[in-house]
């Protein structure tokens, strides 16, 4: 049945082509595809215009677009056009950081693509982005390339751009070494401002010392001590400072530095300092100094032993305070104070602790008695300060005066104590008494910080508007020292007073200072004075005064000197800078001869230029004469000859 049905199934007839001739207009496959594409575009409706109305919708749009770009990059990572489109889209949204990140990622894929680099550079140019990647390796290569090409100025500019974002310490050392290779010493002094570690301060000071700037090196150490203060004190700084002064044969300075540091650095952190101090005293000290060192060493050992053996008593003190049994606590304190051999050494902290305990128990009499006993048995700075602070809190100013007097009898060289005593009297309104204290202070034969004392005295008189007294103090101070900072401070003081002759007074001080410092060994200090004077005249002086000061400034010259090793042998030569002032040049015949040679060379150059101008003028005159000769004589003759020749030809 099935086969019969299949046999009966009709087969469709094929349409017969009546006209088999080719059509007049032939349609190509390309035309068919083009028409199909055009009709497809006609059928598709245009995409709707999308309007974003709020921030949330904008964020969704950005997220969607970024996801699409990231998907394209993930599928075709090596197609750089996808990266460029992504970055340009981010740039159009003012997302410069994102665009830069995309370009950087693309460069990781193909760093040889020129189009990518051009688009990245155009983006930086259009957005005004002058930043460079903060990768130190790149900057090292960049500066090395510029220096190898001989572009020193360009290399310095690269270093300056690099240093603007304060890179690591090694980068600064590279910059310093670069400047030193080209003898630019003045441009090598900025490291400690960015990386103010102790080791960098020490390197800075050694740098100044190496180039012969001893005064600058000392100032660097002093600035470092002031910068770190007592809170962040470091023994390595003081060891280096002491060794520097020892090289300069300033043994008294070395001794003061060691004692200052040992009084402030905890014993556990001052082992190296104490060791160096001992070696110094054995080499350069007298018998008394060596004995002081030995006593200090034994005191340190005793303190360590007491800490070990009597720690249980400290714990006992705390326990007694916690269980609120003041009488037993008092007994423990008294037992502890009796145990310590105060005439040999003492613990300055135990006495104030005992006094504070008695104050908490509202027993002021016992507190005062304890501190008085401490000062009588073993006077120390901390004990006096603690006792005075207690009486100040209690507003017992008469007792404070008596304590200050005792304190100054014990330590008359302590400038800080004199200043605090005078400040107390000033606060209490007794300026005459404060002035008398300052006078007693500056009359002491030995002071630890005389410059600080004098400054405090001068500032006190300025605050009281006692200007004549202030002038007198400056004159008395200048009789003792001719330091440039004193002269400059004196001039600034006169300039700060509201008077008609303040400018003339200030100028007169600068003139006196310049005369006084003509024989000063430290030429840098005189240069500092003249630079300060020049700045003053630039701001307030006339043109003539400016020219006058400018002529007083020295000439900076490079010299060479021998280096002598510690064993006395020659260690070669070194270059250094010296300052030649006008009067020095006039007094030294060699410098006179050098100046005359420079003038002769300049005169020769001027004469050569004059001769060249005369030769050029003579050539111009000859050319003019020949031109006149041609137009007045030769040209008419040539015209006559031409006419005669034509007449002969025609005839």
The set of residues, in sequence order, having a beta carbon less than 8 Å from that of 72 and lying 6+ positions away, is 79, 82, 86
pLDDT of the residue at 56 = 85
Residues 532 and 326: their CA atoms lie apart, in Å, by 64
pLDDT class for 432, splitting at 50, 70, 90? Answer: very high
pLDDT of the residue at 351 = 80
Q: What H or E segment, with its residue span, contains residue 577?
A: strand 570-580
Q: Tell me which of 487 and 633 has the higher pLDDT.
A: 487
Q: Tell me which of 16 and 362 has the higher pLDDT.
A: 362
Core vs surface per residue 196-210: b (16+ CB within 10 A) or e = eebebbbbbbebbbe
Helix 114-127, helix 80-92: angle, nearest 10:
10
pLDDT class for 142, splitting at 50, 70, 90? Answer: confident
pLDDT of the residue at 36 = 79
Q: What H or E segment, with its residue span, contains residue 629?
A: helix 589-629
* pLDDT at position 115 over 80: yes
| Average pLDDT of the segment spanning 273-281 | 78
Residues 627 and 212: their CA atoms lie apart, in Å, by 68
pLDDT of the residue at 641 = 57
| Strand ranges for 505-569 from DSSP E | 555-564
The set of residues, in sequence order, having a beta carbon less than 8 Å from that of 96 and lying 6+ positions away, is 90, 123, 127, 129
pLDDT in tens, 359-375: 888 888 888 888 888 88
pLDDT of the residue at 166 = 73
* pLDDT at position 640 over 70: no
| Average pLDDT of the segment spanning 608-631 | 65
Q: How many residues are there in the chain?
A: 651
Both structure tokens of 638? 């040539």
* pLDDT at position 459 over 80: yes
Residues 179 and 185: their CA atoms lie apart, in Å, by 7
pLDDT class for 456, splitting at 50, 70, 90? Answer: very high
Q: Smallest Cα–Cα separation from 580: which of 590, 591, 589?
A: 591
pLDDT class for 435, splitting at 50, 70, 90? Answer: very high
| Average pLDDT of the segment spanning 298-306 | 55
Q: 124-128, 311-315, 550-554: which has the minimum mean pLDDT?
A: 311-315
Both structure tokens of 149? 């090409």
* pLDDT at position 458 over 90: yes
Residues 541 and 238: their CA atoms lie apart, in Å, by 44
| Average pLDDT of the segment spanning 517-522 | 79
Residues 558 and 574: their CA atoms lie apart, in Å, by 10
DSSP 8-class letter at 269: G
Proportion of the chain above pLDDT 70, given as a percent: 75
Other beta carbons within 10 angstroms of residue 373's beta carbon come to 14
pLDDT in tens, 220-264: 788 878 878 877 778 888 888 888 888 888 888 888 888 887 777
| Average pLDDT of the segment spanning 96-116 | 88
The answer to whether 421 and 404 are in contact (CB under 8 A) is yes
Other beta carbons within 10 angstroms of residue 264's beta carbon come to 12
pLDDT class for 291, splitting at 50, 70, 90? Answer: low
pLDDT of the residue at 174 = 79
Residues 307 and 18: their CA atoms lie apart, in Å, by 128
pLDDT of the residue at 627 = 60
pLDDT of the residue at 305 = 53
How far, in Å, are 51, 63, 67, 74, 90 from residue 56 at the CA level?
Answer: 13, 11, 17, 27, 18
* pLDDT at position 594 over 60: no
Q: Tell me which of 467 and 163 has the higher pLDDT.
A: 467
Query: What dihedral angle (degrees, nearest 10) is formed by the CA atoms of 167, 171, 175, 181?
Result: 180
pLDDT in tens, 597-611: 666 766 777 766 766
DSSP 8-class letter at 128: T
Strand partners, 577: 558
How far, in Å, are 132, 230, 390, 552, 635 from residue 622 at the CA level?
Answer: 62, 86, 104, 51, 18
* Mean pLDDT computed over every residue of the chain: 78
pLDDT of the residue at 1 = 43
Top mean pLDDT of 38-42, 330-334, 437-441 is at: 437-441
Residues 191 and 179: their CA atoms lie apart, in Å, by 13
Phi, psi torsion values for 381, nearest 5 degrees? -60, -45
The set of residues, in sequence order, having a beta carbon less than 8 Å from that of 198 and lying 6+ positions away, is 224, 228, 234, 236, 237
Q: Tell me which of 138 and 639 has the higher pLDDT.
A: 138
* pLDDT at position 469 over 80: yes
Residues 211 and 185: their CA atoms lie apart, in Å, by 8
pLDDT of the residue at 54 = 81
Residues 591 and 585: their CA atoms lie apart, in Å, by 5
Residues 495 and 506: their CA atoms lie apart, in Å, by 6
Give the domains, in start order, of the chain with CATH numbers: 309-397 (1.25.40)
pLDDT of the residue at 298 = 58
Residues 651 and 642: their CA atoms lie apart, in Å, by 14
Residues 352 and 436: their CA atoms lie apart, in Å, by 31
489 CB burial (10 A radius; 0-12, 13-18, 19+): middle
Q: Tell me which of 59 and 313 has the higher pLDDT.
A: 59
pLDDT of the residue at 553 = 85
pLDDT of the residue at 418 = 93
Block residue for tokens 């044969």: 249
């Amino acid at each position: 049945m099935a086969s019969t049905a299949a046999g009966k199934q009709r087969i469709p007839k094929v349409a017969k082509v009546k006209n088999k001739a080719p059509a007049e207009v032939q349609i190509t496959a390309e035309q068919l595809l083009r028409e199909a594409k055009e009709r497809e575009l006609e059928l598709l409706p245009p995409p709707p215009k999308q309007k974003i109305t709020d921030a949330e919708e904008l964020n969704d749009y950005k997220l969607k677009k970024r996801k699409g770009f990231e998907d394209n990059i993930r599928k075709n990572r090596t197609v750089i056009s996808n990266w460029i489109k992504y970055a340009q889209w981010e740039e159009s949204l003012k997302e410069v950081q994102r665009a830069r990140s995309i370009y950087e990622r693309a460069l990781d894929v193909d760093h040889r693509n020129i189009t990518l680099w051009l688009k990245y550079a155009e983006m930086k140019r259009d957005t005004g982005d002058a930043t460079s990647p903060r990768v130190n390796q790149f900057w090292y290569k960049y500066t090395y390339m510029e220096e190898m090409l001989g572009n020193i100025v360009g290399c310095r500019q690269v270093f300056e751009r690099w240093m603007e974002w304060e890179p690591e310490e090694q980068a600064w050392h590279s910059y310093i070494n670069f400047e030193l290779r080209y003898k630019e010493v003045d441009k090598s002094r900025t490291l400690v401002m960015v990386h103010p570690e102790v080791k960098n301060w020490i390197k800075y000071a050694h740098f100044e010392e190496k180039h012969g700037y001893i005064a600058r090196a000392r100032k660097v150490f002093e600035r470092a001590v002031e910068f770190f203060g007592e809170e962040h004190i470091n023994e390595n700084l003081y060891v280096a400072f002491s060794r520097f002064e020892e090289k300069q044969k300033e043994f008294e300075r070395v001794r003061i530095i060691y004692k200052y540091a040992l009084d402030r650095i905890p014993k556990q952190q001052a082992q190296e300092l104490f060791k160096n101090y001992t070696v110094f005293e054995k080499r350069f000290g007298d018998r008394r100094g060596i004995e002081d060192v030995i006593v200090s060493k034994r005191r340190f050992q005793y303190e360590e032993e007491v800490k070990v053996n009597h720690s249980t008593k400290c714990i006992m003190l705390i326990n007694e305070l916690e269980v609120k049994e003041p009488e037993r606590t008092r007994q423990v304190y008294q037992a502890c104070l009796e145990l310590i051999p105060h005439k040999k050494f003492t613990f300055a902290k135990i006495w104030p602790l005992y006094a504070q305990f008695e104050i908490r128990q509202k027993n002021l009499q016992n507190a005062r008695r304890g501190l008085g006993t401490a000062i009588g048995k073993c006077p120390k700075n901390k004990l006096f300060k603690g006792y005075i602070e207690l009486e100040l809190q209690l507003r017992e100013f008469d007792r404070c005066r008596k304590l200050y007097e005792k304190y100054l009898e014990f330590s008359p060289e302590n400038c800080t104590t004199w200043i605090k005593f005078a400040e107390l009297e000033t606060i209490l309104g007794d300026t005459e008494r404060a002035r008398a204290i300052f006078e007693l202070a500056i009359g002491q034969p030995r002071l630890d910080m005389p410059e600080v004392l004098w400054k405090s005295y001068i500032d006190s008189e300025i605050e009281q508007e006692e200007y004549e007294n202030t002038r007198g103090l400056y004159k008395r101070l200048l009789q003792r020292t001719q330091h440039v900072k004193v002269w400059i401070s004196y001039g600034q003081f006169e300039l700060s007073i509201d008077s008609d002759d303040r400018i003339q007074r200030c100028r007169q001080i600068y003139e006196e200072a310049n005369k006084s410092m003509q024989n000063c060994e430290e030429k840098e200090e005189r240069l500092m004075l003249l630079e300060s004077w020049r700045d003053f005249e630039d701001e307030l002086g006339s043109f003539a005064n400016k020219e006058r000061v400018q002529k007083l400034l020295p000439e900076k010259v490079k010299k060479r000197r021998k280096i002598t090793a510690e064993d006395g042998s020659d260690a070669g030569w070194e270059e250094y800078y010296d300052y030649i002032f006008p009067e020095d040049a006039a007094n030294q015949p060699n410098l006179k001869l050098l100046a005359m040679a420079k003038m002769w060379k300049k005169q020769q150059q001027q004469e050569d230029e004059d001769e060249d101008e005369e030769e050029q003028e003579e050539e111009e005159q000859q050319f003019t004469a020949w031109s006149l000769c041609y137009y007045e004589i030769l040209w008419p003759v040539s015209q006559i000859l031409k006419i005669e020749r034509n007449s002969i030809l025609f005839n």
